[in-house]
Amino acid sequence: MSSTLLSVRDLSVSVRSEAAPRLLLDRVSLDLGRGEILGLVGESGSGKSLFCRSLVRLLPSRALVIDSGTVLLEGQDLLQASEADMLAVRGGRIGMIFQNPTSHLDPVMRVGDQIAEGIRFHQGLGKAAAREAALEILAQVGFPDPKRQYLSYPHEFSGGMRQRAMIGVALSCQPDILIADEPTTALDVTIQAQILRLLTEIRDRTRLSIILITHDLGVVAQTCDRIAVMRGGRVVEENTKRALLAAPGHAYTKALIASHPSIPARLSPVTTTEAKAASPLRPLLEVDDLHVSFPSGAGLFSGQPRVFNALNGVSLRVMPGETVGIVGESGSGKSTLARAILGLNPIASGHVAFEGSNLATQRNATLAKLRTDAAMVFQDPYNALNPRMTVGETLAEVLRVQNKVQPAQIKARIDELLDLVGLDRDFATRKPRSMSGGQCQRAGIARALAVDPKLIIADECVAALDVTIQAQIVDLFRDLQRKMNLTLLFIAHDLAIVRNLCERVVVMHHGKIVEEGRSADVFAMPSHAYTAALISAIPDIDPDRPLHALPLRRADSLRGMSSLSLQPST
């Protein structure tokens, strides 16, 4: 390993409460070399983020206390440093980028000014010099038009470009160490590849040391030099990435590797004998030449209203009991299609039929069918549940509204639903804040099942979950689909999960379906160049497989004010 820049020894952190103190970090020891990328992996609650926040003494709660240990940055113990010294360390020597850039970029401050602010504070440059330095950083992190984009606000950028802006803010102070806390979790696979490649290029160019926090072993396999696996506040295993991935020593590391939904290097298309028996002739869901558009403001010179075409002639048929994955980059139209199917987005032209009932010509009757026979599972498991209601109250409310269960049987049905999704029955008395992300997502699935649906649309429902929890949720969907003959539309940007779960895959790009077919066939022999690019951008757990990123398009970088209203419906 290169010369040690950061050395952490026996770092312990506990939470003080009315009950006995509880240890959250238990004597964690790690080293970081100059120019090294260290991957910290483990599920939620393992202590990854808390460890990194402890390095700069920015604990998320006053109830948390650093009990013992040393954090030596080139010989300086940061745990003993004064607060004035720490102000110079934070940002100046140790920078940090976060999972959600929207929450950490000032929404009323231009992106360029946010980068220049750090330069002026830590480097002491004047306004003009700081602006020039900020423009250079914008170019370094991949902004195609730095001078124009310097003046833009965070909301005008796509998720990937906001993350690049967050990296630019962190690099503006020229730190020795960059802590990247789940920087690609919420991004689609191609943007994730761009960000990972950007981080490695910056490391190679500046010898920056990086601590990359992630739950995805594919990310660390493609990016990091060394991996440390955390569980329950301890480092259970640490090694070079090749040694650890090839021969994991700890049972938990083996479970993480087994849970990773890697796509095999060589796939074979299915033969006709492997295909299912012929499906019923009548589809459960039919989408025919569907167009969805949104107003996007008036033209600059004409003054005439402009229209953004979110869906352009989408046609799709889904048979009863079928599992269909819908994949594509952010903005490809996946969620817009899901909302249009459920009658939540206005349809400009075309038809959506559910069980033969047409949404365009029989809107009320079709909506009534959808509300009783279709349900949705959302991406954010916490925000999808009412924080003031217990899980039991949430399920009971759905059961009462649906009126498919007698009032006297509601309690028994709640128990059945919790059994179906693998939650103990005492979760009926718990509220979302006392549950993990995976448990909340299971509760969200239970709420969808309370409708007794024929169709479930899962919109990025595992994107924010750890890889082990993702595997559990995917297994749960597979089990439910088999037991209940559910029809599943599974929207995701993680192609490996879609390959493992779905019988058929639909690839969307710029509001159109560019390819569809049986998953095994599409992933083995993609016929469209865009599909091939998506597949090649997936971070594989094999560190010797190269990571490919789609080239940055000008349209990806700046959405413009007019697209704000469209952002939730990508």
In eight-state DSSP terms, residue 546 is P
Helix (H) or strand (E) holding 286: strand 285-298
Q: Burial-class residue 379 by CB neighbours within 10 Å (0-12, 13-18, 19+).
A: buried
pLDDT at 485 exceeding the cut of 90:
no
CA distance 347 to 364: 14
What percentage of the chain has pLDDT greater than the value 90? Answer: 32
Residue 555: the pLDDT is: 39
Cα-based distances in Å from 430 to 392, 400, 408, 434: 8, 20, 21, 7
- Residues β-bridged to residue 240: 226
CATH of domain 285-527: 3.40.50.300
Describe the strand order of the beta sheet including 37-41 as a list of residue ranges.
94-97, 177-181, 209-214, 37-41, 226-231, 234-240
Residue with tokens 């991406």: 379
Domain ranges of the chain: 35-57+92-258, 285-527
pLDDT at 277 exceeding the cut of 90:
no
**Residue of 338, 348, 343, 302 whose CA lies nearest to 318:** 338
First-to-last C-alpha distance (Å) of the chain: 43
**Residue of 143, 189, 206 whose CA lies nearest to 553:** 143
Pairing relation of β-strands 374-377 and 76-77? unpaired
Residue 259: the pLDDT is: 74
Q: Tell me: the pLDDT tens digits for 89-122?
A: 888 899 888 777 777 888 899 999 999 998 888 7
What is the pTM for the complete model shown?
Answer: 0.71
pLDDT at 561 exceeding the cut of 70:
no
Q: Matching CATH topology for 35-57+92-258 and 285-527?
A: yes
Q: Burial-class residue 320 by CB neighbours within 10 Å (0-12, 13-18, 19+).
A: middle
pLDDT at 278 exceeding the cut of 60:
no
SS3 116: helix
Residue 12: the pLDDT is: 94
CATH topology of domain 35-57+92-258: Rossmann fold (3.40.50)
- Residues β-bridged to residue 237: 229
Residue 566: the pLDDT is: 28
What type of residue sits at position 495?
Answer: L
CA distance 97 to 90: 12
Q: Tell me: the pLDDT tens digits for 147-171?
A: 888 988 888 776 667 878 888 888 8
Overall average pLDDT of the 359-376 stretch? 89
- The three state secondary structure string of 150-189 is CCCCHHHCCHHHHHHHHHHHHHCCCCCEEEEECCCCCCCH
Angle between helices 159-171 and 127-140 (to 10 degrees): 130
Q: Tell me: the pLDDT tens digits for 488-528?
A: 999 987 788 888 889 999 999 889 999 999 998 998 889 99
Q: With contact defined as beta carbons under 8 Å apart, do 228 and 235 qualify? A: yes
Residue 545: the pLDDT is: 67
